[in-house]
Every structure is written in C-alpha cells, then in structure tokens.
Amino acid sequence: MSAATSPSGLFQFSVEKAYIVRYLIPISCAALQTVSTFLSRLVKKGFLNMYRKGRYCYYQPLVSKEDFWRATMEESAKFFTKGDLGELACCLCDDMLDAKDIEKLKKKLNEHS
C-alpha cells in the first residue's frame, strides 16, 4: 500500500483506500453535488482555497482547525441565541455535556479569568 500526501501536506491517505472509495463504493450524483456545494460555500467564506488541475479540483485549508471551529460556533451562536455565546454554552451544559466535559469547560473558563 503506497501513501500519498495532499498538496498542502496536511492530509495523508492511502492509495488503496482512495481506490475503494472512488471505485468500489457507489456514490450518487446527488451526494457528489452536495459535497461540491458544501466545499464551494467554504471557499466563498474564505476557509478553503480551490484550484483545478486537469479535470480535478483540489482544496487547501486557509485557516487552522481551531479558527474554523471558532467561526462555526460564532455563526451558530448568532443564529440560535442572537450572538449570546454564554447562552449557547448554557444550552450545551444542560443538554449535551457530561460531567467530564463540564470539568474541561470549567478549567478552560478558569484559564481565561
């Protein structure tokens, strides 16, 4: 099994796995269009850079993973809680976080106090 690296050097994948995904697992045109739409929106928002090489499109990240998640959470907070990040955190604490997650959150909040 040979390995390949993306042009940005951030993502590695095995050629055999890529072959399985591309040729053995059927992907509908609708699914491909959905992925294409999602990636084009990330390009428009400035998270990805897209360039073509022949028939193929290649995507490179323009922001770090942390910056992407921060922007995503801010957008979610604007949509669900009118920009109130504290309210969003409270909603997460009430419904989704277990005791271990809440302890992590407390430590993080204490670091910033």
Quote the strand ranges of 7-91, DSSP E.
12-14, 48-53, 56-61
pLDDT digits (tens, 9 = 90+) for 4-25: 444 444 444 444 444 444 554 5
Residue 60, C-beta contacts closer than 8 angstroms, at least 6 positions apart = 6, 7, 8, 48, 49, 50, 51
Average of per-residue pLDDT across 37-50: 91
Token pair 């604007």 in the structure block, residue:
78
Q: Which two tokens stand for residue 95?
A: 């419904």
pLDDT digits (tens, 9 = 90+) for 60-96: 999 998 998 888 888 888 888 888 878 877 777 776 7
How far apart, in whole angstroms, are the C-alpha atoms of residue 25 and residue 83? 41
Confidence band (pLDDT; 50, 70, 90) for 49?
A: very high
